[in-house]
Amino acid sequence: MSKSVLVLYMSRGGHTARIARRIADSVAAAGGRAETMSLLEADKEGVDWTRYDVVALGAPVLYGTYDRSVFDFVAKYRTQLETGPNAFFNVSVVARTPEKTTVAGNRYMQKFLELSPWKPRDLKVIAGKVDYPSWRWHERLMIRLIMKYTHGPTDPTTVIDYTDWDDVAGYGRHLASLAT
């Protein structure tokens, strides 16, 4: 029987959803079965948790934190998330630098672990995307200030995808390997 992975995600601009799909595609390419589902969809439509050998949840870092819906979902479904092999991945532009791509070196992963009642067994930090043109004016302003402080790109026409897509695919294979 093939391994089955559920990749849950919260995405506001679509990049984390794209990462979730790449993870699922990688599981399928390795001979497993994978499905993606937004947290909103999972909460509204329900999840048959027994169908999955591994559950992963991913969320972007937005302005230095996670959307409240991520913590609400985790609190509501903590028991189901903890039942079997499970993982959490975050997506942040700050992970564009090598020292911020590690679990220990990524303050936003540490913040998640501090604030979350769920303690995932497996953790992954994934670099995100700067996409000034797609952001609202006040988001562009805020992100530009953050980027100035962190020595990132500040040109409001900048679009840079820092995501290592081969690493994301490798993470999908890793998740499939967590199934017992």
Kindly report, residue by residue over 119-130, the tens digit of the pLDDT.
999 999 999 999
CA–CA distance, 44 with 31 (Å, rounded to integer)? 29
Write out the E strands in 14-169: 33-38, 54-60, 86-92, 122-127, 129-131, 159-161
pLDDT digits (tens, 9 = 90+) for 34-51: 999 999 999 999 999 999
Task: Provide the residue ranges of all domains of the chain, joining segments of one domain with +.
Answer: 4-128+165-177, 130-162
- State phi, psi for 118 to the nearest 5 degrees: -90, 130
**Hey, what CATH class is 4-128+165-177 in?**
alpha beta
Other CB atoms within a 10 A radius of the CB of residue 36 amount to: 20
Say how many residues make up the chain: 180
**How would residue 81 be classed by pLDDT, with cut points 50, 70 and 90?**
very high
Indicate the average pLDDT of the chain. Answer: 94
- 179, 4 in Cβ contact below 8 A? yes
